[in-house]
Structure 1
Amino acid sequence: MIPHKIDKEEFSKLPIVSHSGNVVVVNDVAQAEAAIQAIRDAHSIVGFDTETRPAFVKGVTYKVCLVQLSVGNTGYLFRLNLMNGIPDCLKNLLEDKDVIKVGLSTHDDFQNLHKWDADLTPRGFIELQLLVKGYGIEEMSLSKIYALLFKKRISKRQRLTNWEAPSLTDKQISYAAFDAVACVEIYTELTRMGQQIINQ
């Protein structure tokens, strides 16, 4: 039985999990095309997340500068700010209903991506916040859901760092990649648990 919630004290005591797989940082359109082809060739469920430079001044906002996709334990980080927008190959993948993508709070991600491309129409997405409700989970954040399922904690220290920096730090890269990987891990675990219930 999955606990419905996790309190702050219990959460803070959990060991921190870090990304141990490969990461591909995508800085230009040619690299994006190669990355998207690799993702398509994997014929697997794709993890999805985005990052935006935090604004600490009232009224100041920024566009999404990073789209994270993952296949298996490999993360692909698309630096939209360096490509001045969403490359066609990435847009096509996000709109491809036959490529299943898993994310959390995707509505917010889509709204922010529309600042780059108002015509973007994402398809083929599974929203984890809706999925977990079917398992009685009341937590809505990625880190809390992950903690309930795996008894490990995703560090969020990098979330408010500058994602538009000329070069991302190793910690930023690891954090960003794992957020996408974690989405698929959560989906896979919930699917496994659901299948167990059916088979009993």
Structure 2
Amino acid sequence: MNLSNQQNKIISISKRQLSDMPAMQFPGTTHVIDSSEDITGAIEILRKSDVIGFDTETRPSFRKGQVNTVSLLQLSTRDDAFLFRINHTGISPIITDLLEDPSILKIGVSIHDDFHNLNKLTHISPQGFIDLQNYVKQFRIADNSLSRIYAILFGKRISKGQRLTNWEAEQLSSAQQSYAALDAMACVHIYDYLSAGNFNPDESPYLMEISDDNVLAEKTSDNPA
């Protein structure tokens, strides 16, 4: 292997390659937490997990100058995703305690943006977090969106069709629930796969020269989460 040549390569997937992949279906169980009475039990389950996936959703704004606050907080184990409807319940102190607990590993994408928005509701000093946007760099993955990282590793596409839906609807649709749950659980899947040493960058079909014109052209972020 020519190490110098390998060092001049990164891993990036194109929009076309991503769109051609089959859609990933949420594989776990979803729990919608829309009353304060249900928060304690959900947090107790989450605290038993050695790793938690993290994400948030905010009702989109289509009017200039209108800014909405975070509607939904998603926290997931490997099997169960809890969707906290914080526009209904607020952010309970036991949720804050979990997010600030350095002993519990939490995985997300673009975490800074999530907490910038959450801190508009209550002050939170996040600890114990790994941001996949930074973590994947050691594997030479240049793309920083959840859907692209997931596609590179697993060959499946995370649909973003529900991202701009109304997260403050009276009832979340099944499609919204699956979308939100998958975004959090996918963070755990990615971390588990990479941390276990299951990914060899040199064998990735998406390895390309850094100088390729399409690297910059194709690099986009589909979330913020």
TM-score of the superposed pair, with normalisation by structure 1 = 0.93
For residue 3 of structure 1, report the CA deviation from its aligned partner: 6.5
**Alignment match, 1:149:** 153
Q: Secondary structure at the match of 1:153?
A: coil
Q: Report the alpha carbon displacement of residue 17 of structure 1 after superposing the two structures with TM.
A: 0.4
Partner of 1:130, secondary structure, is helix
Correspondence for 2:15 among 8, 21, 26: 8
Distance 1:146 1:43 in 2: 22
Query: One-letter code of the match for 2:110?
Result: S
Q: What's the secondary structure of 2:139's corresponding residue?
A: coil
Question: Which residue of structure 2 aligns with residue 105 of structure 1?
Answer: 110
- Which residue number corresponds to residue 131 of structure 2? 127
2:38 aligned residue (23, 31, 47): 31
Higher alpha-carbon deviation: 85-94 or 46-55: 85-94
Residues 4, 138 of structure 1: 8 Å contact kept: yes
Contact map agreement 1:102 1:128 (CA 8 A) in 2: yes
Residue pair 2:100, 2:125 contacting (<8 A) in 1 also: yes
CA shift for structure 1 position 193:
2.0
Identity %: 46
Provide the aligned length of Structure 1 versus Structure 2: 194
SS at match of 1:17: coil
Distance 2:199 2:157 in 1: 25
8 Å contact from structure 2 (residues 193, 199) kept in 1: no
Instruction: Judge conservation of contact 1:19–1:175 (CA < 8 Å) in 2.
Output: yes
The Cα of 1:196 is off from its aligned counterpart by 7.9
Task: Establish whether residue 79 from structure 1 lines up as the match of residue 81 from structure 2.
Answer: no
Counterparts in 2 of 1:35 and 1:135: CA distance versus 1, 3 Å: same
Work out which of the two has the higher radius of gyration on C-alpha atoms and give 1 or 2. 2
Q: 1:17 aligns with which of 24, 30, 33?
A: 24
Give the equivalent residue in structure 2 for 1:193. 197
Compute the displacement of 1:195 (Å): 9.0
> What residue number does 2:70 align with?
64
Give the AA of the match of 2:154.
Answer: F
Amino acid at match of 2:40: E
- Counterparts of 2:28 and 2:38, CA distance in 1: 19
2 CA distance for matches of 1:70 and 1:167?
20
Residue number in structure 1 paired with 2:182: 178
Q: Displacement, 1:178?
A: 0.5
How many angstroms apart in 2 are the aligned matches of 1:193 and 1:60? 44
Amino acid at match of 1:111: H
Q: Provide the TM-score with structure 2 as the length reference.
A: 0.83
Match of 2:211 in 1: none
Partner of 2:99: 94
Amino acid at match of 2:21: L
RMSD value over aligned CA atoms? Answer: 1.8
Pairwise CA distance, 1:163: 0.2
Number of the residue aligned with 1:139 = 143
